[in-house]
Structure 1
Amino acid sequence: MSVVKEVSKMLLTVKDLTKKFNHKIVVNNINLSINQGDLVAFLGPNGAGKSTTINMLTGIIPPTTGIIKLDGLQPSSTQYHQKIGVVFQNSVLDNELTVKENLLSRQKMYRNSVDKLDDWIDKFALQSILNQKYGVLSGGQKRRVDIVRALIHDPELLFLDEPTTGLDIQTRKLIWKVLSDLRKETKLTIVLTTHYLEEAELADFVYVIDHGQVIAADTVNNLKQNFAQDVLTIYPSDMMKISQILSDYKYQIDGQQVAIFVQQYQAIDLLNKLKPVINSFEYRRGNMDDIFLNLTGKGVE
């Protein structure tokens, strides 16, 4: 019996997207292809052009040049905005209204709003703060309300612009648990900008952006394979013998420790060879920070 693999639907396409401010190029000829149901991460340092790109994709600012299409719709279309939800770095809610008043007023803005508000309130644990003014909430509480506000009309595509910056780890875990469940249930597509490398590792596809340009675009696994080697760090008892064993490997010596760059499958065999001449060892998998460092020469700020 043959198995038919489901083909992903292309939801958002971006071609030759460029933005200039006073003749300064902030976003430079970016191309994107985003499939329905995917979590796509834009990874890059401050000033890389991530937020400017999001602002163009959400229709807040027009591009200088380039084409943006969501299911064939352009950002100038009302239907386009019915299909997207946005969580900005800075909230757009009213500090003087309660959480409930803010959410109900936002719900009324959408003609085709699906009444899932009670469900969102429950999932994001907002019951205890519904009658508090938005302005007195903590950062984590505000962010949970912001996400519910963005989901209130059941969008197909959710933009998250650094949604968990500065939040405690418990709030970050709650947010990602709910969003992960939502993706499984509804095939919600998420476009994320982040400084947190562990969040980028959750993505189905990553665009690494620096100086307004996409410098790499691939799955996390492929990026790791191409730009992030695993590191086996050993503490040798005999440095002379170590150098002989490592003649076919790339390694760095730092005092009494040696960092060896290996593929995962090499580590066990190499440790067996090194066992007689080492005191201890540590093993670290390649990660998103390694990828960014290898691509740009600097870490994510």
Structure 2
Amino acid sequence: MRIITLFFACLHTLSLLTTTTLAAPAPQLFAITPHAQDLAKLSTSWMDERYDPVYKLLRTASKNFLNTVGTHTTRETLWYSIGLFLRNNGSDHDCAIRAVRMSSTTSLTRPTTRSTARSVAYQRYDPIGGTTLAIILPDFESMLPPDLVARIEHALRLAAEGDESQKLRRPYDRSHGIDMTRYQSLIVQWIWLAVGHDQAPVPDLTRPFNHPDDWCFVPMVALLSPYARIPPTVLPRLQSFTSGCTISRVVASTAQRATNHWQDDPWNRIVTSWLSENVMIEAQICNETGSQLPVPPSHPPLAPPHRRDWMVQDVFYG
């Protein structure tokens, strides 16, 4: 409830800012760090090739999205628009305006027979776009026409009253596997921001890689880069590996966290990993007989009690 209240307060603040003050100058590519510039340029250029000028949306690069969502995606299109606003070269501004306008047009704003709520079950429109719009509005308002500003404000209010009131979290630092050089992940983008391309575990960008749509998130990382703060003790660990590292974390059960301290929580998990240069061992202590998440019978367990992985000639085995 506190998060929902905060979200509404942010919307109210944005409304006051847009109606009572002049818009601040928009962020520009040359004003961010060199690592952030490299990220934004590469990602935006990659998305240039996937932009469909007819539909004014980005074509998906994910086979999974092609099978479940369709050929075009609004979420990635909004991320692309931030890259265009930052680059702001040639026709970038006009293209970004068209992309934001089309993305907001595809949102569902009225209840249907499938739902009595103001927001309905979505497929081609992802409510995470509300987060991106909430960033676009204050940062790039000076580059937006008045009617689009009004449309974004309206969309944010609908998002707060609809899907976003039940779904206010996203994996802004997620990864999907062990070898991050095989696929695109958000956590690697933040590492790149800190140490640069040469020292980040990135996939070969000249060849196809898994989770390609996550590469579209980069403009968000670049835009937020001035606010990224990495402790001095952490940076050396991102630049070179320290062998024989042991990491242990307590993961408390969400259902029990409100009533019990994590030390007294009978459903918490203690997760421990040991890392060397070529071997990784993980295990967990938990009061569970299996995964607590509903998964198809054919799907492997989401939380196995232990795992061993090793790398031979840049190939992981586990």
- Range class of TM-score, shorter chain: under 0.3
**Higher RCO (C-alpha under 8 Å, 6+ residues apart):** 1
| Structure with bigger gyration radius | 1
| TM-score, normalised with respect to structure 2 | 0.25
Structure number with higher strand proportion: 1
Structure number with higher helix proportion: 2
